[in-house]
């Protein structure tokens, strides 16, 4: 296997060029004689990026391909070309991604996959596994015992309230059920991610779930509790923006709601960073390989560029348990010609992507 030498500024925190080498597919900070020098010289290197909310079994490109290994492989390739070298997949229609991982996946490309989505009957899309309040803890623990490192629970789901004349997002379960589910999954060795965009937020935080996906109803008090309990937040902000563009064209009330929500994000994202909440970058329903778009959206809505980059790289790796950018770790990295903290457009155009010491994009 080829050896390499890279001189670059280490992102997301670095402020001056440093040296690293790649030997036998792993990182080292000790000189390697005869290593090939990789450019651009004095570029910027980021740990291989992480998409913390990507549904690999689903065709997000507008096609109609059914979930399965071919779709998963194509989506992994699209992510890798964009600089993503690790993924958390929080659920697939029939547990396709988890089965793909358990059958070997793509060597060197780590994926943490949930099984199916868990929700009460009729309170999510029909791809879910139905579980009422009584059966949820056992169903969730069964997913973890079957090898899923993450269990995905649909904590709330929108509906139109005729009496109120508006859209509401009621909780699917109560706090007691969430607590029992979290305890059962943790005892089985797994972690709990919740789809939470409405009224379930206080109960989910109180129950100690491991990550909140979307989090449209979060506030400062909930963020403070999340920081104390080490609960991560995956805003999936770029996906929400995309949906808003479609849904608000002819709906002034919805447009006002969306704009108010974005104003809240501009306050909540910096507050989350100040409090020490781990923010994760996830693309959800966007086309695979859109991680740069999510990072840009996080920055535009108030997150410092270095923290937004961390949400898609080192911070995500630390929270999820993917290998760090450290001596002896797999050489998963992305190289840029300019600093994406100052030039966010370059994040979508990496000069080089490396997975396990193998150059995949150049």
pLDDT at residue 294, as a whole number: 98
Mean pLDDT of 311-319: 99
Instruction: With cut-offs at 50, 70 and 90, classify the pLDDT of residue 248.
Output: low
pTM for the model stands at 0.96
- Span 100-139, pLDDT tens digits: 999 999 999 999 999 999 999 999 999 999 999 999 999 9
Judge contact between 289 and 79, C-beta under 8 A.
yes
13-27 pLDDT, tens per residue?
A: 999 999 999 999 999
Asked if residue 302 lies in contact with residue 275, where contact means CB atoms within 8 angstroms, the answer is no
**Which domains does the chain possess?**
4-45+326-361 (2.30.40.10), 49-320 (3.20.20.140)
Say if residues 265 and 219 touch (Cβ distance below 8 Å).
no
User: Across residues 187-212, what is the average pLDDT?
Assistant: 98
Q: H or E stretch including 227? A: helix 220-229
For 188, the token pair is 């089985």
pLDDT of residue 68: 85
300 versus 65: which is more confidently predicted? 300
Tokens coding 209:
């779930």
Tens of pLDDT, residue by residue over 319-330, are: 999 999 999 999
| pLDDT tens-digit map of 264-309 | 888 999 999 999 999 999 999 999 999 999 999 999 999 999 999 9
Angle between helical axes of 136-145 and 175-187 (0-180°, round to 10): 20
Report the distance separating Cα 12 and Cα 334, nearest Å.
Answer: 12
Confidence of residue 42 (pLDDT cuts 50, 70, 90): confident
Separate counts of helices (H) and strands (E) for the chain: 11, 18
Confidence of residue 239 (pLDDT cuts 50, 70, 90): confident
Contact (CB, 8 A) for 106 and 79: no
CB 360 within 8 A of CB 353: yes
Give the pLDDT band of residue 262 (cuts 50, 70, 90). Answer: confident
Mean pLDDT calculated for residue range 227-235: 99
How is residue 345 annotated by DSSP? G
């Amino acid at each position: 296997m080829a050896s390499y030498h890279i001189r670059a500024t280490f992102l997301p925190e670095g402020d001056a060029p440093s040296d690293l080498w790649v030997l036998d597919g792993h990182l080292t900070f000790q000189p390697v004689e005869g290593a090939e020098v990789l450019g651009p010289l004095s570029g910027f290197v980021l740990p291989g990026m992480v998409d913390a909310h990507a549904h690999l079994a689903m065709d997000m490109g507008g096609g109609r391909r059914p979930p399965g290994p071919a779709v998963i492989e194509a989506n992994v390739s699209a992510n890798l070309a964009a600089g993503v070298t690790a993924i958390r997949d929080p659920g697939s229609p029939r547990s396709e991604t988890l089965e793909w991982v358990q059958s070997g996946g793509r060597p060197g490309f780590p994926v943490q996959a949930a099984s199916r989505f868990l929700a009460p009957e009729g309170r999510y899309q029909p791809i879910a596994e139905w579980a009422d309040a009584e059966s949820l803890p056992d169903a969730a623990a069964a997913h973890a015992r079957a090898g899923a490192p993450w269990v995905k629970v649909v904590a709330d789901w929108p509906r139109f309230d005729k009496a109120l004349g508006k859209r509401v997002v009621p909780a699917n379960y109560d706090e007691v059920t969430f607590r029992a589910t979290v305890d059962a999954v943790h005892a089985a060795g797994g972690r709990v991610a919740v789809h939470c965009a409405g009224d379930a937020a206080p109960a989910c935080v109180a129950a100690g779930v491991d990550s909140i996906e979307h989090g449209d109803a979060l506030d400062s008090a909930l963020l403070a509790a999340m920081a104390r309990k080490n609960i991560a937040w995956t805003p999936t902000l770029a996906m929400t923006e995309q949906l808003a563009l479609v849904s608000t064209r002819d709906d002034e009330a919805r447009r006002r709601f969306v704009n108010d929500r974005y104003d809240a994000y501009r306050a909540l994202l910096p507050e989350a960073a100040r409090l020490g909440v781990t923010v994760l970058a996830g693309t959800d329903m966007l086309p695979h390989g859109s991680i740069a778009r999510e990072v840009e959206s996080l920055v535009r809505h108030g997150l410092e560029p270095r923290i937004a980059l961390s949400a898609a790289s080192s911070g995500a790796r630390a929270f999820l348990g993917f290998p760090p950018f450290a001596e002896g770790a797999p050489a998963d990295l992305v190289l840029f010609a300019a600093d994406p903290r100052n030039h966010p457009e370059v994040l979508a155009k990496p000069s080089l992507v490396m997975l396990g010491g193998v150059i995949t994009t150049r």
